[in-house]
Structure 1
Amino acid sequence: MQQTPAPLDTSQKVIRLGAIALVVAALGGAFAYVNGTLDPQRLTPDKLVDNLERAGGVHEGFRRNHAKGICVSGYFESSGQLKALSQAKVFSDPRTPLTGRFALPGPNPYAPDTSVPIRSFAVRFMQSDGQQWRTGMNSMPVFPIGTVEAFYAQQLASQPDPATGKPNPDSMKQFFASHPETAAFLAWVKNAKPSASFASETYNSVNAFYLVNAAGQRQAVRWAVVPAPGQAASEVGQGADVLQPDLAQRLAAGPLRWELRVTLAEPNDPVDDASKQWPSERRTLTAGTLVLDSSQAQSDGACRDINYDPLVLPEGIQASADPLLAARSAAYANSYVRRTGEESHAQQEPRP
């Protein structure tokens, strides 16, 4: 049996919240620029990604967030339960190929696997009609904030103190105290701990989307991929690099599976605010099963050149008005241009 982790002391909590702040920035950052609410001279996608580089260093050729990762391949088997709700082929075809990527949040591709308790899973579904569905999910069940103003305040509070190189505990405390919408996220962080396996995690869309059927009817949803029984980690892994070897070892023994569970919103549920959770009794349908059968290094694997932009959607799935979605799209595009430009430049350099 796993032992209950010891409570974190104050310094450990500050370090953890500081690391998670990078994830918050990367997921939510560009929306102030996209929506034009803040002065673009202060906050743009360029400056957001610049901040990630300053925090974690510049690692040329790597993604500016979720830099440490591994490619996976497989397919999705539809249950048919969503055919009436969405015209997307992924929900009606028996099998759809997919290319995914597991990753550790943050800009450092050499970070220890235990540095943050969050893991991410991005997937690109390739439908039979040529359309794609791309989604980026995280193991946290809710986003800390949901407005431009709150994001900007959080960014300021999480700036490292020049004297210590770490976030100022008082600034972080003041931010969370003045933003009660962060309560759900903080409740999760309190007991969250780094998992020993990508295979044992549940990954959540956090943002809401709409399923659209052939008649044009829309249903607001969020989704999660939940590991099949038997994929739970037996103990906390030791060392800085345990997640990728663990995944490769598991896949060598056979395919890994997750159920794609889609939760249906009721009319009054908040759709455009990722910091607001929906009641647990909401109806959930099992859309099908994700099956992974192989992994590859991110340096030359199938996921290397994929930008997992969450706004790449097929007919039958639409984005909500959640500003974080535009933010993520802008930040991912900025990161993609930077890293692919660096790779191109490196290929032109003469070899010694």
Structure 2
Amino acid sequence: MKSKHTQARPATSPRGTHLMLRYAFIAATLACVVGAFAWTAGWFSQRLTPQRIVDGFEGMSGVHPGFRRNHAKGICVTGRFESNGAGAALSKASVFKAGVYPVMGRLSAPGSDPTEADERAMVRSFALSFSLPDGEQWRTAMNSAPIFAVRTPEALYEQLAASERDARTGRLNPLKMDAFLKKHPETRAFHSYIETHPPASGFDNATYYSINAFRFTDANGNARYVRWSVVPETPYEPVREDAARDADFLAHDLVSRLARWPIRWHLMISVAQPGDPVDDSTRLWPAERDRERVDAGTVVIDHAQSQIDGPCRNISFDPLILPAGIAPSSDPLLAARSSTYAVSFNRRTREEARFTAGRN
């Protein structure tokens, strides 16, 4: 695939719109943020396939050949994880043994349109792949909101349908979204969070959350459910009004900062206590879980590369690629991600292959 640097279209801020239209926009954004969580055996009828879910994401802004169907606009990053050994008390995973491990990742904004202006992004995302001893890998895909708007793959599919734009006007239908919100009151928590937590001014000063729970097993066989986050050393600041003048300010600012110094986040692990939900991504854990977090080490990013030909180009950040000592929970969204990620990956790589063959 050959592509020039993204040229984003200017966009109109959603401020001042009718409340329901704003909720429709938020929910449409979330439909992209949750990223292709759609299919796993037993969750859907035979008529609903991962291919149809990916079709739903494509329907939100059209097909952009060679790009990811979600988080189409992003930038590759590389660096290391400096493990301090504290995480070994919770998991036997090799990543938590004291040492330094290479990481490769991708910072992105939600959506299937690689030309979308950054000012429209209410959420930032950070995907990481840790290269570990003995050929193991740990991949994680995190968002800057700590919860999802929907709990199940079925609800996601309904949300995609409610977020579909009118073919003639290109606009969302607030009546469809109103019906979805009434059927799924659990989405209110996400709406409330987005309304009260402005997005960070850059990729570097946002906290990113695993959202889903995972099961950690230590060297003695003790199992605990956890969620994690990466917390920046750079102080949080809300997005600036003047950032809208640059449609690609997130990547531009990241590159500028990395030219001066590496960017660091602390990997913080929160442990569930009895009664904390481990299979519902729409519900936060009590605030004291964050106060009791374990600092397992530091993610250090020191280089950025174009997503067109950078190291993250041909990787799927499947969060079920896990080292021994980390296992998925029973969260239905988490269990549904792998097969739909694979469909998206296969589509874009086939498009790239056809493009390359056409040039030869």
Q: Is TM more than 0.5 here?
A: yes
Is 1:213 aligned to residue 222 of structure 2?
Answer: no
- Structure 1 position 176, deviation (Å): 1.6
Structure 1 vs Structure 2 CA RMSD: 2.1
1:145 to 147, 150, 166: 150
Query: Partner of 1:114: helix, strand, or coil?
Result: helix
Hey, what does 2:9 align to over in structure 1? Answer: none
1:36 to 42, 46, 49: 42
Query: Partner of 1:136: helix, strand, or coil?
Result: strand
CA deviation string 1:237-260 (max 9, x = no partner): 232111111000000001000011
Hey, what does 1:117 align to over in structure 2? Answer: 122
1:328 to 305, 325, 337: 337
2:182 to 156, 177, 202: 177
1:350 to 352, 355, 359: 359
Hey, what does 2:318 align to over in structure 1? Answer: 309
The amino acid across from 2:159 in the alignment is Q
- Retained in 2: the 8 A contact 1:203–1:225? yes
CA deviation string 1:89-141 (max 9, x = no partner): 11113211100100111111111111220111000000123200000001111
Hey, what does 2:10 align to over in structure 1? Answer: none
Hey, what does 1:91 align to over in structure 2? Answer: 96
1:201 to 206, 214, 219: 206
Query: Partner of 1:306: helix, strand, or coil?
Result: coil
Whole-angstrom distance in 2 between the partners of 1:334 and 1:314: 23
The amino acid across from 1:82 in the alignment is G
Is 1:101 aligned to residue 106 of structure 2?
Answer: yes
Whole-angstrom distance in 1 between the partners of 2:261 and 2:255: 10
- Structure 1 position 328, deviation (Å): 1.9
Instruction: Call closer, same or farther: CA 1:109–1:9 in 2, change over 3 Å.
Output: same
Is 1:294 aligned to residue 303 of structure 2?
Answer: yes
CA deviation string 1:259-314 (max 9, x = no partner): 11111001221111111111111231111110001000011111111110000000
The amino acid across from 1:296 in the alignment is Q
Query: Partner of 1:72: helix, strand, or coil?
Result: strand
2:294 to 285, 290, 311: 285
Hey, what does 1:245 align to over in structure 2? Answer: 252
- Retained in 2: the 8 A contact 1:260–1:288? yes
Hey, what does 1:13 align to over in structure 2? Answer: 22
The amino acid across from 1:258 in the alignment is W
Unpaired segments ≥5 residues, structure 1: none
The amino acid across from 1:9 in the alignment is T
Instruction: Call closer, same or farther: CA 1:232–1:291 in 2, change over 3 Å.
Output: farther
- Retained in 2: the 8 A contact 1:117–1:192? no
TM-score under structure 1 normalisation?
0.91
2:283 to 269, 276, 280: 276
Whole-angstrom distance in 1 between the partners of 2:114 and 2:148: 23
- Retained in 2: the 8 A contact 1:21–1:155? no
- Structure 1 position 231, deviation (Å): 6.5
Instruction: Call closer, same or farther: CA 1:81–1:26 in 2, change over 3 Å.
Output: same
Alignment: residue pair count? 343
Hey, what does 1:266 align to over in structure 2? Answer: 273
Query: Partner of 1:270: helix, strand, or coil?
Result: coil
Whole-angstrom distance in 2 between the partners of 1:101 and 1:6: 27
- Structure 1 position 24, deviation (Å): 5.2
Instruction: Call closer, same or farther: CA 1:234–1:14 in 2, change over 3 Å.
Output: closer
Instruction: Call closer, same or farther: CA 1:149–1:6 in 2, change over 3 Å.
Output: closer
Whole-angstrom distance in 2 between the partners of 1:173 and 1:217: 45
